[in-house]
Structures are given as structure tokens and as C-alpha cells.
Amino acid sequence: MSVLPNTKLHKNIKNLSSSSNKLIKFAVTKIESLMISRKLNSSTLILFLLFALQITSCKQGTYIPQSGDLLFQVNATSDFTDAIINTTGDDNAISFSHVGIVCLENNETFIIEATPNLGVQKVSLQDFLDASAHDENRNPLVIAYRLKPEIETQNPIDIATTYLGMPYDSVFLPDNNAIYCSELIYKSYLSPNGKEVFTAIPMSFSDTSGQIDPYWVQYFEKLKLTVPEGVMGTNPNDLSKDEILEYVGKL
């Protein structure tokens, strides 16, 4: 069966031909040639269009927020942020210094987060993005992850909401009536039986040389506390690698 003239299909082909994806451009050229010679049936063309549109959508990195998504962020530079990255980051990847929970309300997107200045708060998505570091194209350095479908939890938004107003945990210790950003995630995502679904790890405040970063030495000296090296906890960078999460988009 040959392809019948179809204005909408021709329009979609033309739209795809403007794509920056070289593979799609090549395929579109072949499709147009086959359309002219009427050697392509309509079913094959429709399948191609669906496949190509899916590729271009993925390439554009379209992200549709869902309540419970986690937004991992590289904060705008500061001594505090740099120290987090120096002791928890990777040399060959984006090193996250902050994380928040997506909360959809009345068709608006909010983020529940714990920050040093304001503790646990709910802010607009735009405010969250504005606080981020940006790449050379002025895009915020924020990546969205989502629990894999097979992971069952209680409602993390309901749990996270109970922490609103709690102060920030500036000493990164468990169960001290304060909470830091990744600790909020750890405590808000619970299985139906109440167990944390994320994995706590021994915290490290050491740099790549294996020595405790000088920033943290001075930081805890001012608080008259010992650096909690090895205490079980979490950090945004390691949390983002947890096997129960899957990547869903870049903002």
C-alpha cells in the first residue's frame, strides 16, 4: 500500500528534518525519498514518526515533575558548598551539594528542602532553581531522579511536611531535633513497614588525600565538636547514586 498525500504527516516530516540530530536528519532524507517514489507504506511511516519524536523529546531533556521526585542540585559557590563537594564529590561527574523533594499543589510545583539559613521550608521551583549554580548556557545545574516503580513507600510528602520549620542540622548528627538536606530525604522515604528505603553510609569529611578537609576542621572547632567522621548518615552526591533511583531529566 503506497503512502497517500497527508498534510499533517508531511508537516511532521519537515519538523523532524530541522532536528539537530544527524541520525534523524539522515533518516528523514530517506523517508522523503521513499514518499516521493511511493515505496513506503503509511504504517511504517507512522512508526518512524513516533520513534523519531520520542528521540527528539529525550534529546531536549523534557522533564515533567511528579510529587516525590528528587531534585539534586549543585549550589551556587560558597565555602560551605565547596567543602561538601571536596569531600563527597566525584572527579568525573557532577558533584551534588543539595537535594530537595518535589511537591505538586494546585498545579504549582514546590520544593521541600532543608537549608542552612532557613531550615526545612517549602519554596517555589523557580526559587530553588535560582539558588542553583548554572552552566555556561545559564541552565541550572539540577538533575531530577525518581524512585523506581517497584519501590513501595509511604507518602514522602506527608512525612516531609511534618518537618517543616525544623532547624538545619549544622553538625550532621542523627536524631538531634535538627535535619540536613539529605537527612530529610532519608527520613521521609519510608517503606510501608516504616523502614528507610535509602541506605545510610559512614560519613566522610576527608578530601582526596585522605585527610579531613581543613574547612571542616575549622568548622567543627568553632562549634567545639569533634568532626563526625564515620558517623552513619547521608549526603546528596551518594544519595543520587542509590540503586532505587532512576534518572528522569535535567532542568
* Residue 237, burial from CB neighbour count under 10 angstroms (0-12, 13-18, 19+): buried
The confidence score (pLDDT) of residue 235 equals 94
Structural domain boundaries in the chain: 7-60, 70-250
Q: Give residue-wise pLDDT tens across range 50-79.
A: 444 444 444 445 899 999 999 999 987 545
* pLDDT on residue 41: 58
Q: Is the dihedral of CA 238, 242, 247, 251 positive or negative?
A: negative
Report helix angle 42-60 to 7-17, nearest 10.
Answer: 40
Helix (H) or strand (E) holding 245: strand 245-250
Residue 179 CA to residue 51 CA, distance in Å, equals 45
The vertex-102 CA angle with 100 and 105, nearest 5°, equals 140
Residue 93 pLDDT grade (very low, low, confident, very high; cuts 50, 70, 90): low
pLDDT at position 62: 80
- The mean pLDDT of 85-89, rounded to a whole number, is 53
Write down the CATH number for the domain with range 70-250.
3.90.1720.10
Residue 44, pLDDT > 60, answer no
Rounded CA-CA distance 95/185 in Å is 18
Which amino acid appears at position 180 of this protein? Y
